[in-house]
Amino acid sequence: MQVELSDYHSHLQISRRAKERYIFDPVRKAYFLVQPEELVRQSWIQYLHRAKNIALSSLAVEKQFKLFDGTKRFDLLLYQRGNPVMLFEFKSFKTSLTDATCRQAAAYNFHLKVPYIMLSNGIQHRLFFIDMESEEVKEIMDWPENLSAN
């Protein structure tokens, strides 16, 4: 899937405190230390909100959930009409999207059961559709039209 996240960097709110840089998360309404993965997350939030007209209230960031014997935390989850519909798994732009990234998201989806999974390192983006009945997974190249402006 092609998305130029750098087009949304001008909307990121970054401030300095002492020697550190912090970025504002409009979903959590707080500043967080700038890290490569956080920049990817915040760029996606801006893209979803500005390009796809998705309300910030339809997004959940870094929420914990139980998975098997442990506790995990997803990067970003998109809701539509109160139901989770897309899981986002982010990596640093320095990190390739690998089979391990796919397995991590698939394991999370064992619990979340969303029809779409987006993997992104800010440069490369891979979007998958999961047919919940047949359990077939298919990579798709375009943003699903039914997931805009909720």
CB 26 within 8 Å of CB 49? yes
What is the average pLDDT value for the chain, to the nearest integer? Answer: 92
pLDDT at 102 over 90: no
For residue 15, give its domain range: 5-147
| Arithmetic mean of pLDDT, 124-150 | 89
Residues 108 and 66: their CA atoms lie apart, in Å, by 9
pLDDT at residue 66, as a whole number:
79
Query: Would strands 64-67 and 14-17 be described as parallel, antiparallel, or unpaired?
Result: unpaired
User: Per the structure, how many domains does the chain have?
Assistant: 1
Checking if the pLDDT of 95 tops 80, the result is yes
Q: At 119, list the tokens.
A: 């993997």
Residue whose C-alpha is closest to residue 86's, from 137, 129, 36, 142: 129
**pLDDT score of 149:** 65
What average pLDDT does this structure show over 29-39? 97
Q: What is the residue whose two structure tokens read 């979803």?
A: 48
Compare 136 and 150 and report the one with higher pLDDT. 136
Which CATH number goes with the domain that contains 22?
3.90.1570
106, pLDDT greater than 90 = no
Which tens digit of pLDDT belongs to each residue from 48-58? 999 999 999 99
**Is the pLDDT at 150 greater than 60, yes or no?**
no
pLDDT of 68 over the 80 cut: no
Give pTM, 2 decimals: 0.92
Residue 135 confidence (pLDDT): 82
